[in-house]
Amino acid sequence: GDSVTQMEGPVTLSEEAFLTINCTYTATGYPSLFWYVQYPGEGLQLLLKATKADDKGSNKGFEATYRKETTSFHLEKGSVQVSDSAVYFCALSGEGGGNKLTFGTGTQLKVEL
Amino acid sequence: GAVVSQHPSWVICKSGTSVKIECRSLDFQATTMFWYRQFPKQSLMLMATSNEGSKATYEQGVEKDKFLINHASLTLSTLTVTSAHPEDSSFYICSALGLAGDEQYFGPGTRLTVT
């Protein structure tokens, strides 16, 4: 079945550092790929998505590129802020899956001054 | 827009009792809602898909008689954990599928503790 593997956290960075959170997936066909963010005490929010190979999703300075050849969707941001501290989830929605999402385990990011 | 609420945000119940969790789409109608369960340091696990006016579709391994789902209106789905046991203690999260049908909007979750 479909699965998502993302790097374990927590990840601790200084403000303005470069962020990469790795995400790889296993799925048949061409799934849609997502990054969700969960701020403390809040529900998951869609951060960005990509629906086909080589698509780049971007939002709030975060980017991720759908790489079919490496089955990856790594999240990057050039300069993190304290306000980016949250838990980040990589997820996929398989072809014909009826919008059902398969999530990775989540990576906690802590950004310090 | 696209706000989803859950009630209660946390609940403690005694073993053997039942507890109901509500999921509401506050500013849009949702024909489809999803219920997830999240264990500490683990991913969200889809439990069931709830469709308004019809029976929920449960994922493999989820006991439908234990986790009763009712989606009686376009803005409300409920999850009832029946005869709760300590192993049912978890974080339960719902989501609602937006009108365009391509994005899920998540509630803040409900922490259930069974003593």
What are the tens digits of pLDDT across the range A38-65? 998 788 899 999 999 999 999 999 999 9
Cis peptide before B8 (omega within 30 of 0): yes
The closest alpha carbon to A35, from A56, A8, A12, A9, belongs to A56
- Which strand (E) or helix (H) includes residue B36? strand B32-38
What value does the mean pLDDT of chain A take?
93
Q: How confident is the model at residue A96 (pLDDT cuts 50, 70, 90)?
A: low
Q: Using a CB-CB distance cutoff of 8 angstroms, which residues of chain B are in contact with residue A2?
A: none
Q: Does A13 reach chain B within 8 Å, measured CB to CB?
A: no
- Residue given tokens 């509401």 in the structure block: B24
Dihedral angle, C-alpha B54, B31, B101, A3, nearest 10 °? -50
Across chain A, the runs of DSSP E, i.e. the strands, are 3-6, 11-14, 19-21, 23-26, 32-38, 45-50, 56-59, 62-65, 75-77, 86-93, 101-103, 107-112
Q: Quote the minimal CA–CA distance from A67 to chain B in Å.
A: 21
* Residue A40 near chain B (CB below 8 Å): no
- The residue among A32, A22, A4, A25 whose CA lies nearest residue A93 is A32
d(CA B92, CA B35): 7
Tell me which of A33, A99, A107 to substitute to probe the interface with B (most B C-beta atoms closer than 10 Å): A99
Q: Which two tokens stand for residue B44?
A: 């969200």
Assign A100 a pLDDT band (cuts: 50, 70, 90). confident
CA distances from B61 to A34, B46, B47, B48 (A): 25, 11, 9, 10
Respond yes or no on whether the N-terminal peptide bond of residue A10 is cis (omega within 30° of 0).
yes
pLDDT of the residue at A33: 95
* Distance from the A18 Cα atom to the nearest Cα atom in chain B, whole angstroms: 24
Question: Using an 8 Å Cβ cutoff, are B32 and B69 in contact?
Answer: no
B44 Cα distance to chain centroid: 12
Task: Kindly give, in sequence order, each residue whose CB lies less than 8 Å from that of residue B73, ignoring residues fewer than 6 positions away.
Answer: B52
Q: What's the whole-number mean pLDDT along residues B10-32?
A: 95
The predicted pLDDT at position A97 comes to: 62
